[in-house]
Structure 1
């Protein structure tokens, strides 16, 4: 079974940009409101062409962190270094326009009285010919050639998003700061716009810090995820590592539904519906939680291993009674009340599987996909 540990900052898998110079380096960034640290000693690095997602629930301090890096808000402590130049430190605060950063927000923030071309050219400080050439190049790259003379109100949400991207890229920023930039788009548009945005940013070699509260978006876009909670980064690493080795129960639950089996460790073993689990490192009598995701439970019609999602499993089969089942399109979820001390578990099955409430079925568990945490 998996015993989660905090991913080491030296881990080359967890730090995909570690071999390249940092475009952005943040050290000990702190912000205090009303005596409470809303951002508490946040440190991270973003390399050229790397996308780091600052991921966490609403109110955890993500956007405040981004605003301090951008220079829109003052930090109470810490340093921000962009391309080797310190732009924020005790006694130093450069304004946003002096930081060589691009900014993208969820409301697009286009100027309604300017044309598309004028919006894209707004931040450029070059001559007219060079400005027109850069605007034309970017509109072509975001598939908006011929839209230059339109105004924002004449565009769809996806088109406005691409104009905002072109405008942010126009001055060739070394660092792009993005705060929930895709949340205003419907699901049909979102994936395509995200992929286009990611391709362009990587082509430009821009270091990207993206704020999001959506784990799926972070997993899709990020080279590195910095998981944030209550103002602090609690775990950093490559998406695979953060998902498969969560630092605690809350980190596991942030990425997916989970099942939690509680027990007491005795002699480094904990009794569960699926037999005894090894729980080394926990004192005798200590309460522990064994966490497993629904897709790592297998349903069998009997104890012989014949069921709708046969997978190599381990340990003792456990009988449960179906409470309800529902079909979600790609998978079905089945809730069970287990015979063992009334534990309740949920299993997911690819495709359609809708047993009736009251049906008795057997479950088995992927022990190599379980996480054990102290309570």
Structure 2
């Protein structure tokens, strides 16, 4: 039989390896690595100051790393000795302020970065403006357009030179909330159509979940967890990862015989030694109110385990749901629950609460 031939996969469109950046003795980016395939959208998600934008600037070539390497289609474009100039990296940039030239028409803004001139450049500008539905504005000026239209012009300009990679730094943060979802969806559709590899920087979890094929969660200069949005949300690495995506409730306890005792029943804590201090972390939407057994005392249920009693402290309607805050009987701690639609019990109302055991996380307590 002929020997099997091993199929070699093409290299990632963008790959960064072990990037490090120091400022004034402080490590701002600490050993960051990731790769992005053509047509893939990866979000660098994290709080302000965690190193997201600095990572983007190094990839773009406007800042130099202190260690690490950057590759495009398997070719080295930058390390600490060798550096391809930014304009030759085939990388597009989009920022939150759009950075359009006010003295140039929309068409000339879009064609600004092209090597071609004249009729060829105008034809390319028309083509890209048609993709974002703005070809009729080719001879208008940026100030004559709305914020959402300016953002789409910025996208057309960034895509006009046909970059292999698009870097986006909080590009939608300046838009009105009513426009943002639609503009994000339109932008994503155009980028996918162009088969562009996208690295999007954002501090908004909702934006990352909406746009990303993969999320790289960044904290203190490091990527702490990376994966599909569903996996990041459903299997967070630690309490901080849970809390970044939503409000959380926390119950503190101790491990005994691989079990953690709580007012809501026992939780498994495999691999943790007896006496280990732990936190049971769960989101408000996974707290249930047991109306069927209200006032009848603790009891086990098939899905939610044991009920515990809380007394209503405050209830607010949030638009699509109600947020109810409780003071728990067992230790006088607070707990929050979200309830669909309008539910506004009076302060002092006692209610029995349960939690979704399959949506709880057991983490060793830090500090």
Alignment of 1:91-130 (within 5 A): 91-130=81-120
TM-score of the two chains, using structure 1 as the length reference: 0.92
Cα deviation, residue 85, structure 1: 1.8
Cα deviation, residue 282, structure 1: 1.4
RMSD: 1.6
Q: State the match for 1:333 in structure 2.
A: 323
The superposition leaves residues 113-170 of structure 1 with CA deviations (integer Å, 9 ceiling, x where unpaired) of 1110000000111253321211111111111122111111111111110110000000
- Mapped to 2, the partners of 1:323 and 1:225 lie a distance apart of 36
Cα deviation, residue 90, structure 1: 2.2
TM-score of the two chains, using structure 2 as the length reference: 0.94
- 1:185 and 2:175 correspond: yes
Please say if residues 46 and 202 of structure 2, whose CA atoms lie closer than 8 Å, have aligned partners that are also in contact. yes
Match of 1:146 among 136, 145, 153: 136
Match of 1:232 among 222, 225, 232: 222
Please say if residues 294 and 352 of structure 2, whose CA atoms lie closer than 8 Å, have aligned partners that are also in contact. no
Please say if residues 249 and 282 of structure 2, whose CA atoms lie closer than 8 Å, have aligned partners that are also in contact. yes
Q: State the match for 2:74 in structure 1.
A: 84
- 1:173 and 2:160 correspond: no
Please say if residues 21 and 48 of structure 1, whose CA atoms lie closer than 8 Å, have aligned partners that are also in contact. no
- 1:68 and 2:58 correspond: yes
Please say if residues 124 and 171 of structure 1, whose CA atoms lie closer than 8 Å, have aligned partners that are also in contact. yes
Please say if residues 254 and 260 of structure 2, whose CA atoms lie closer than 8 Å, have aligned partners that are also in contact. yes
- Mapped to 2, the partners of 1:83 and 1:113 lie a distance apart of 36
Q: State the match for 1:364 in structure 2.
A: 354
Cα deviation, residue 283, structure 1: 1.3
Match of 1:162 among 152, 167, 175: 152
- Mapped to 2, the partners of 1:268 and 1:336 lie a distance apart of 29
The superposition leaves residues 172-214 of structure 1 with CA deviations (integer Å, 9 ceiling, x where unpaired) of 0000000000000011111111011100000000000000000
Match of 1:33 among 19, 23, 38: 23
Runs ≥4 in structure 1, deviation > 3 angstroms? 18-21
Please say if residues 295 and 351 of structure 2, whose CA atoms lie closer than 8 Å, have aligned partners that are also in contact. no
In the alignment of these two chains, the number of paired residues is 354
Q: State the match for 2:249 in structure 1.
A: 259
